[in-house]
Amino acid sequence: MGNSRWIVAGLVIALTMSGGGATFAADDEITLGTTVPMSGRYVRGGTDTKNGYDLAIRQINKKGGVKIAGKQYRLTALYYDDQSNPQRAQQLIEQLIKTDGIKFILGPYSVSQNQNVQSTVELNKVPMVEAHSVTRSRRSPRPRYTFAVTAAPDGFFTPALELAAAFSKKFGKRAHDLSIAMATKDDAFSREVREGVLSDANRLGIACVIDDQLPEDFADMSATLDKVKALKPDLFLVSGHESTAMTVISQIEQAGADVPMVASTHCVKARLALERKGSSQLLFCPVQWNKSARYKGALFGTGKDFTRLYTSVYGYEPSPESAQAAAAVYVFADAFKRAQSLEPEKVRDAISTTNLLTFFGPIKFDDRGVNSSKPMLLTQIVDGDFVLVAPQNWAEREPVIKKAKP
């Protein structure tokens, strides 16, 4: 077919990775289907995602799999390489459903891929649990069969704005005297991020003095940074993708734009702490998950427990994408147990009433299929590490707010 295709067999995982877990008959399987980008521009995130899926399958099978109507089942997964192409992802998900007979789908990697696939699973009435950020505008039709374990994009910068308000004295101001600048890409994800920022700023009494839209393929932020230098906002928030994060840290210093607090989406994916250690120092980075967050669940324990296990298997620490992926598999396993059925409609109903505490955070879906119970976390890059600074009661240290030059 020209595309990479492979099966992660639960039996192989159980025997080679579980250290002597439960044994199963060969036909006692529940197969989850998905596409992951194992080639193309999203390959790094695709690898992390697949590793998270595989580790959760391994752990669930090690603990005995899933028991339905007195019968034990192991989980398996069938993957296709979507080559980082949203249209191909949609075609392959349709193939999984119609040709391979897969009844349970894990969402593809990127926002654009999930958007394309949503119509396919809704049309075929197949439940899908998405591990990655999805857009769910309150004005859009509510999907019935798609659910996302992550916090919605409109909450991405909430902890950054709330942190600034709480530590306004570090800016030498009162909270309602703070101002922000914002630059966002014109895509579904960033549009929802922007809506959330404007809503949070209004709630906190913070003025938005710059609200710029970035072009699709840009390499120059000079127009926005000229405004930043002139208006001197206290916070500069940027939403886009990995390349956007790289651009903002490389150009803000060159431009001499003096901003006490700069925050960007996609810091972790861009590997800024490793690859731009100097220029990324003190950058604030909203994340879905961090190993130091004090969440705990039955499957993996704490975030640090998950990190130790993941590192022992794959040789490097998990990214938030890996944690999100593992959480998505766990949602399916929990739903199978509560539904006591493999009928897609009954499993869908069980997913809709999910109420889990996990190493990733709480998982409880609202009527949009969004995990609105889960807040974003905020980290700050300090000496090459992502240090958790919000929520404040879990912070590893106070945030470092640079003093603006007079």
Q: In 10 A of CB 242, how many CB atoms?
A: 19
Report the alpha-carbon distance of residue 157 to residue 377 in Å, rounded. 9
pLDDT at residue 251 in the model: 83
Q: In 10 A of CB 226, how many CB atoms?
A: 12
Contact 42, 81 (CB under 8 A): no
pLDDT at residue 10 in the model: 34
Report the alpha-carbon distance of residue 133 to residue 116 in Å, rounded. 14
| Domains and their CATH numbers in the chain | 5-151+292-363 (3.40.50.2300), 154-287+377-394 (3.40.50.2300)
pLDDT for 337-394, tens place per residue?
999 999 999 999 999 999 999 999 999 999 989 998 899 999 999 888 899 999 999 9
CA 291 to centroid of chain Cα atoms = 14
Q: In 10 A of CB 275, how many CB atoms?
A: 10
Report the alpha-carbon distance of residue 27 to residue 54 in Å, rounded. 19
Contact 321, 290 (CB under 8 A): no
Token pair in block for residue 337: 């147990």
Task: Single out the residue of 145, 94, 113 nearest to residue 41, CA to CA.
Answer: 113
As a dihedral over the C-alpha atoms of residue 248, residue 249, residue 255, residue 259, rounded to 10 degrees, the angle is: 90
What does the radius of gyration of the chain's CA atoms come to, in whole angstroms? Answer: 21
Task: Single out the residue of 101, 126, 128, 125 nearest to residue 114, CA to CA.
Answer: 128
Token pair in block for residue 287: 């994340």
Task: Single out the residue of 384, 375, 381, 385 nearest to residue 400, CA to CA.
Answer: 381
Report the alpha-carbon distance of residue 337 to residue 406 in Å, rounded. 61
Please spell the DSSP secondary structure of 80-91, one letter per residue: EE-TT-HHHHHH
pLDDT at residue 7 in the model: 45
pLDDT at residue 77 in the model: 97
pLDDT at residue 13 in the model: 31
Which amino acid is residue 232, in one-letter code?
K
pTM higher than the cut 0.75: yes
pLDDT at residue 215 in the model: 78
Report the alpha-carbon distance of residue 106 to residue 172 in Å, rounded. 47
Residues 6+ apart with CB under 8 A from 272: 245, 246, 249, 280, 283, 285, 381
Low-confidence stretches of the chain (pLDDT < 50) are: 1-5, 7-20, 26
Report the alpha-carbon distance of residue 157 to residue 69 in Å, rounded. 44
Measured over all CA atoms, what is the biggest interatomic distance in the chain, rounded to whole angstroms?
72
Task: Single out the residue of 278, 281, 213 nearest to residue 244, CA to CA.
Answer: 213
